[in-house]
Chains A and B, each alone.
Chain A
């Protein structure tokens, strides 16, 4: 009888319980949905703004490579090529293509169709093929970034002429060139091979990428061994007393210190006191390693702590020394967690800009650094610099650089997942 009563009671409460459970699930789904929408909007915005930066327009120009006009002697040396007037030749070729253009203002507009970098491309092309001197060649020259953005369809004629950099007359010329099949969109290799430049169409992330690479290398080489060693010592060997408690509290506090403070510290200690080179990946890496150290130590300690004490007992029980127990048994088990924490710390360091601004890695760098002491910049700082530039060409480059940065972050996280899987399988 009472059993029967219980069943009806439970049945009555079941409905309510399940309803609550369903409601809770819906809240969860809604939260995930909101988060997902924000992510998609963000990604879509960045990708749609950044994608055009991966292509670049070229304009086919008939260039007369006259030795006299270039000012090239017979059998020119490299010096001669560098002194030659390629810019003048490019301008002359443009005038020949549009003979009706007259007046200084219009001519200036005409010259602005082609990138100032075109003359260097032309010079390199001729240096590689000296036999072309004296001939007339149809050569694809890099378009100016404003002309390029018109060709990419980013500028509308509907806008008042005063509000845009591409003038009506330039638009007419570009339309004509397009009709003649003299324009072409190509993959933007300069973006990956060049350093920064004043001209958007000549600017690239190579220098910043290399700077980031060197900086992260220094960070990893300093922070990973030191962090893991510190974690192992604190977890496995250090006696529990006031001092180690104090150290633990301080490490936890360090993790919460704003990164710019580390930049100030780096400026005061590494640069002003130890007189290490300014703007160098060496100092940048040292500063970032200070910043990532607490992260690495805390995550490493947590994963060492999570290793079951029975494994330690087993090792000690067969007569392993404490160091052998740690190296042979505890660390291998803790390694996936340590690596995940370290890679997340490194990813943070990769995206960090504030402390690097403090130590002068914000300089305008055209050449990729070839070592850790060369002046350089890093990706997030490059993004910061470009985001500050008013030209349309830099706006899209900002987003493109963000895409590259995010690509690397995803790559690093994938590496973390991959390493964890590999270690866990063993």
Chain B
């Protein structure tokens, strides 16, 4: 207990330092060199709570992500356990999406983005030489923050993944996959008569559910969801949460959300990010009832973020 308070005190000061680094980085190059040294000190920060688990599906160790000069993720180490739902929360711009995208190497296509550290999937190095990104992304699927259906028919949107991976042996099987995926994303009833209409013609929330259907159609082992419900009404949100509950029997899910309630409802573990650092990780119940870090407490009690 005594140690905890001590920890907390030093952490808060580090966080304040980090904030000043943020604001100053817009200034001249000379001062930036100084701040980088500051950041190196900041980097010694150790996540509190329990970032590691025994049965890790994916494991990140000392991950740093840079967008050019910008240091977006600082020395994050985190395990994602098998068949668990882990929620990632934190104020806007703290690097949740960035961290999520490092897990299936979606950052590869961003020019100037550099990832250091180690990430493994079932013990295999995700950034290793032998790693095939096509295989990786088939195993680690993603639902993006902004709905991005293909400008093709609804059917084609969902059928595309299974088709390129050869998951269906005939048309009937493919139809079956499309229908069940749409059903699980609770979109089927709304679109069943318009499967040949363009997916881009759907409403924002429908598009997001279409993207969820598209992601689960290839049955990935890990599903990364970046604010999947931000454009959905409470009913659709509830259905997606049911889906997540159901999916975790077989799959592993990492979900970014801005809704504390959602994090509390669907996840077993919660990770709190702040300005590129992973501040605290723990069982969801613990995080929400007994946060150990001042920043976490401030965030979940709505004092900022």
Contacts and interface: CB of A to CB of B under 8 A. Distances in A.
Nearest to A333: B151
Interface residues of B, number: 27
B141 A315 contact: no
A314 B137 contact: no
B172 interface: no
A223 to B, nearest CB: 27
Nearest to A318: B161
Contacts of B111: 240
Contacts of A310: 144, 146, 148
Nearest to B156: A328
B104 interface: yes
A423 to B, nearest CB: 10
Interface string A303-321: 0000011111111111111
Given A313-B106, A314-B150, A319 B144 contact: no
B215 A311 contact: no
Interface residues of A, number: 21
A425 B217 CA distance: 27
A313 B218 contact: no
Given A319-B161, A324-B164, A311 B150 contact: yes
A317 B216 CA distance: 11
A95 interface: no
Contact of B109 (A316, A320, A324, A328): A316
A320 B136 CA distance: 11
Nearest to B145: A310
A52 B214 CA distance: 64
A329 interface: yes
A324 B106 CA distance: 16
Given A311-B151, A312-B109, A328-B160, A318 B137 contact: yes
B126 interface: no
Nearest to A312: B109
Interface string A224-254: 0000000000000000100000000000000
Interface in B21-72: none
Given A310-B146, A333-B151, A317 B104 contact: yes
Nearest to A317: B142
A315 B104 contact: no
A318 B144 contact: no
A419 B72 CA distance: 44
B149 A319 contact: no
Contacts of B148: 308, 310-311, 313-314
Contacts of B160: 315, 318, 320, 328
Contact of A320 (B106, B134, B215): B134
Contact of A329 (B150, B165, B198, B211): B150
Interface string B112-144: 000000000000000000000111011001101
Contacts of B144: 310, 313-314, 317
B164 to A, nearest CB: 6
B19 to A, nearest CB: 31
B156 to A, nearest CB: 10
Interface of A: 240, 308-321, 324, 328-329, 332-333, 426
Given A318-B217, A333-B151, 13 more contacts: A310-B146, A314-B148, A314-B150, A315-B160, A316-B137, A317-B106, A317-B137, A317-B144, A318-B138, A318-B215, A319-B134, A319-B137, A319-B161
16 contacts: A240-B111, A310-B146, A311-B148, A311-B151, A313-B148, A314-B144, A314-B150, A314-B211, A316-B109, A317-B141, A317-B142, A317-B215, A318-B160, A318-B164, A318-B218, A332-B151
A-B pairs, 10 with minimum CB distance = A319-B138, A310-B148, A318-B161, A319-B137, A314-B148, A317-B142, A321-B134, A319-B134, A320-B164, A324-B164
